[in-house]
Structure 1
Amino acid sequence: MVTALDGIDARFERATFTAVIGPSGSGKSTLLHCAAGLDRADEGEVIIDGTPLTGLSERALTRLRRRRVGFVFQAFNLVAALTAAQNVVLPMRLAGRKPQAGEVAAMLAEVGLADRAGHRPGQLSGGQQQRVAIARALVTRPAVLFADEPTGALDARSGAEVLRLLRSAVDRHGQTIVMVTHDPVAAAYADRVLFLADGRVVDDLTGPVGAEKIAVHTARLEESAR
């Protein structure tokens, strides 16, 4: 039996940006999936916006995710046949909510894509597609946004644009973000960095943490994991 997560106790405060970093196989993505209700933990409790996930039916869990949780993944996961605007409005439609006039256009403008609303994913660059994915995740104003390697498929410039958007969502709108990354530069955009190794939190740094310090910590973890 493999223990993917081992006694993790973590709280993510409102309007904060937390990065989770660690060696491959340390449990980063498993932590995100359990925290988001995509996977069920064998024991322990996960609470989102005051609602315990333990005991919820799959239907109730799906409703909670649609209304209170946003997701951004390395793969943009846009629907190829839909325009950028249609992709952004999709989670609202699934949640049975009708967007207010101008709401989707305003969200696309916020991510710098006001002039791309009618474009389909195949007509957009990778960075633009990820910005559409961020707009889609934020349009429902979720209690928490989970991002799994959101810059992993992007070049450095596009990745920086995406990270600035996430940082802005926290600073301007009080969004709560939990981001899994392997990149110390990406993690440096966060207010807090959790370091994982062997399914456990082995360090927890808060406040401005430079990429160099994060890289040193990460290198030590990787060395000890060999």
Structure 2
Amino acid sequence: MTSGTLVAVQGRSANEVHTLLLTLAGRVALAGGSLEIAGAPVSRRGTDAVRSPEPWRRRVGFVDARPVLFGHLSVAGNIGLPVRWSGKRHPREEIGKLCRSVGLDAVNDCWPAELDPAEQQRVAIAMALAYDPDLLVVAADPGSAGLDQLSRTLVDLVRLEGRTIVTSLATPIVQAGADQVLTLLDGRPIGTNA
């Protein structure tokens, strides 16, 4: 997978798709083989899931289908936490840029409870992007509202910003914008098509 690639993962079992995403995100240990990101090994067979999350987050951003946001902080406040933790020199500018890149600049003063689940997920995507990860892994809840905008956000992040994203979001927009569609059957890829 090269930089600026969108890979859609699908399968008969939502659990096996989610397990693959969790493995890429370092939350689940590999049963076999090894995993490399940008040519550097990150885990080997039999090793535990990543124990020190901070360096991992700098390489791989993970956004679960139901992200946990800080309810007492606005959208901009939630995005601002990792921006500050990542040591950005101009946090306000970076927060504004991240809000715009995920299409949330109009709601940056809103509270997480005021957003639909897909908007909350876009906040979490912006938070993950604060570390400028090599890979962004995005799990999806197919029953969520606002999936078309979330899908467009993912496609735009790949096309306009050169991000590399793996997602389980299976909307027509993602399918049309994907460079690869990986289909899993019993935990193994049975084919890809572009």
Shorter chain as denominator, the TM-score bin is 0.7 to 0.9
1:154 aligns with 2:148: no
Q: Which amino acid aligns with 1:50?
A: G
Report if aligned partners of 1:26, 1:196 keep a CA contact under 8 Å in 2: no
Consecutive unaligned residues in structure 2, runs of 5 or more: none
Supply the AA of the counterpart residue of 1:203: G
Match of 1:171 in 2: 159
1:152 is matched by which residue type in structure 2? P
Structure showing greater radius of gyration is 1
Q: What residue is the counterpart of 2:23 in the other structure?
A: 34
TM-score, length-normalised on structure 1? 0.74
Number of aligned residue pairs: 190
- Quick check: 2:67–2:121 contact (8 Å CA) kept in 1? yes
In structure 1, the partner of 2:70 is: 79
Q: Deviations over 1:151-208 (max 9, x none)?
A: 52423xx211111111011111110000124x352433311101110111111102xx
Quick one: distance in 2 between partners of 1:189 and 1:78? 28
- In structure 1, how many angstroms separate the alpha carbons of the residues matched to 2:84 and 2:137? 20
Comparing 17-26 and 159-168, the one that deviates more: 17-26
TM-score, normalised relative to structure 2: 0.85
- CA change 1:122–1:184 in 2 (3 A) is closer
Q: 1:132 matched to which residue of 2?
A: 123
- Give per-residue Cα distances to partners, 1:99-119, cap 9 Å, x unaligned: 524110121123232232222
Cα distance in 2 for partners of 1:111, 1:37 equals 24
Q: How does 1:1-226 map to 2 (within 5 A)?
A: 12-24=1-13, 27-54=16-43, 61-95=52-86, 97-98=87-88, 100=90, 101-149=92-140, 152-155=142-145, 158-181=146-169, 183=170, 185=172, 186-206=174-194
> What is the one-letter code of the residue matched to 1:34?
T
Computed over aligned residues only, the root mean square deviation of the Cα atoms, in angstroms, reads 2.4
SS at match of 1:81: coil
Q: CA deviation at 1:26?
A: 6.6
Structure 1 residues 38 and 67, CA gap change in structure 2 (3 angstroms):
same
- Range with bigger deviation, 111-120 or 82-91: 111-120
1:71, 1:137 within 8 Å by CA — same for their partners in 2?
A: yes
Deviation at 1:50, TM superposition (A): 2.8
Identity of aligned residues (%): 33
2: CA distance between counterparts of 1:99 and 1:152?
Answer: 37
Q: Distance in 2 between matches of 1:54 and 1:132?
A: 28
Cα 1:25/1:128, change in 2 over 3 Å:
closer
Give unpaired runs (5+ residues) of structure 1.
1-11, 207-226
Distance 1:24-1:60 versus aligned 2 partners, 3 A rule: closer
1:81-136 Cα offsets, whole Å, 9 max, x none, are: 221112112233444x2452411012112323223222210122333322222222
Distance (Å, rounded) in 1 between the aligned partners of 2:29 and 2:63: 19
Q: Is the 8 A contact 2:4 2:164 kept in 1?
A: yes
- Secondary structure of the residue aligned to 1:27 is helix
Q: Secondary structure at the match of 2:69?
A: coil
